[in-house]
Every structure is written in structure tokens, then in C-alpha cells.
């Protein structure tokens, strides 16, 4: 699998329908940006209380939500919390994401991207804390699509 090399701009993400948030009815909360954030990135809780930063793909990171605008480090940011439908970015240039699959943060260098969670049983149990939600439409390679934000912990049992 190859990673995308740049996070799309807000203009690219919104071309055609002008919407990053499909249902602006869910909860939001203000935080402080611990690093620069791009519109459309998944954000995680920062090291300091009240801060968020773009997701880095660690299995243990806790997803806070989603940012619909660009922010500089230190800015006050509006985070769309679980319960919203938002447009997320597929990390891969080679692997599409199917509708209905669970998504998690990805370790792509551009930050804030998602991939389908691998539910294949392994030698040991794997606990995935970095769940973003699930895709409500197919998400093409090097592209973006809508997902329902939901942040449960998913444990894949051993075989």
C-alpha cells in the first residue's frame, strides 16, 4: 500500500458540493490547536488538557473528532465530535475503502487520514483505540468520502 503524499486542500475537498460536514447537527467543542491543522483532518487529544493535534495513526491515540477548517498552532479550533457525518481522507494511493467498514487513524506522514481497520484475527488480541467511525459510502484511493464519527474501542480477538 502506498500513502498519499499530500493532504488535500479544503477547496479540493469541497469541490462540487461545498460541504465537509454533511449533517451539522451533532456536537461540537472548542479546543486549542497544539499543531497546524488542515480542513478535513481527524484530530486527537493533545498532550496538554484542552488541546488537539492531527491524528498520527497510533493504535492507542484517542480520537477527539474532526476539523472543518484550517488552523495554525495556538489557534482556537472548532472540533466536530462523534455523532456527525464528515468527509474523511483515505491515506492510500492503492487501496479503496468499502462502504460500511470501520475506520481508524492512519500513520501516513500527511496526518489526519484514515484506513479500514483490519479485523483479521492474529496470534494475540489487538486493541484499537484509534477508531474514527465507519464509512457511509465507498472512498476511492487518493480521495475522500463521508463517514459517521463514532469512537468505540474495537478489540480483535486472537485466532
Express each pLDDT in 43-52 by its tens digit: 999 999 999 9
pLDDT band for position 23 (cuts 50, 70, 90): low
- pLDDT (mean) for 92-120: 96
Record the pTM. 0.89
- pLDDT (mean) for 25-47: 95
Mean pLDDT of the chain: 93
pLDDT band for position 20 (cuts 50, 70, 90): confident
- The domain limits of the chain are 27-154
Q: What is the pLDDT of residue 19?
A: 78
18's CB contacts (< 8 A; 6+ apart) are none
- pLDDT (mean) for 2-19: 83
27's CB contacts (< 8 A; 6+ apart) are 80, 81, 82, 83, 84
pLDDT band for position 18 (cuts 50, 70, 90): low
pLDDT score of 13 more than 90: no
Range from 14-23, 30-39, 45-54, 92-101 carrying the lowest mean pLDDT:
14-23
pLDDT score of 37 more than 90: yes
pLDDT score of 122 more than 90: no
13 φ/ψ angles, rounded to the nearest 5 degrees: -65, -30
Residue pair 144/112 in contact (Cβ under 8 Å)? The answer is no
- pLDDT (mean) for 33-60: 96
DSSP secondary structure letter of residue 13: H
Amino acid at each position: 500500500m502506498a500513502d498519499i503524499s499530500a493532504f488535500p486542500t479544503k477547496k479540493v475537498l469541497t469541490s462540487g458540493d461545498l460541504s465537509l460536514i454533511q449533517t451539522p447537527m451533532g456536537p461540537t467543542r472548542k479546543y486549542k490547536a497544539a499543531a497546524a491543522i488542515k480542513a478535513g483532518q481527524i484530530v486527537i487529544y493533545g498532550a496538554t488538557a484542552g488541546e488537539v493535534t492531527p491524528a498520527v495513526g497510533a493504535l492507542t491515540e484517542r480520537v477527539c473528532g474532526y476539523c472543518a477548517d484550517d488552523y495554525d498552532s495556538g489557534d482556537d479550533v472548532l472540533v466536530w465530535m462523534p455523532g456527525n457525518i464528515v468527509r474523511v481522507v483515505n491515506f492510500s494511493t492503492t487501496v479503496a475503502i468499502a462502504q460500511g467498514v470501520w475506520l481508524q487513524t492512519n500513520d501516513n506522514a500527511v496526518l489526519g487520514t484514515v484506513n479500514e481497520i483490519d479485523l483479521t484475527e492474529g496470534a494475540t488480541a489487538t486493541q484499537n483505540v484509534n477508531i474514527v467511525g465507519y464509512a457511509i459510502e465507498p472512498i476511492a484511493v487518493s480521495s475522500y468520502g463521508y463517514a459517521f464519527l463514532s469512537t468505540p474501542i474495537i478489540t480483535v480477538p486472537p485466532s
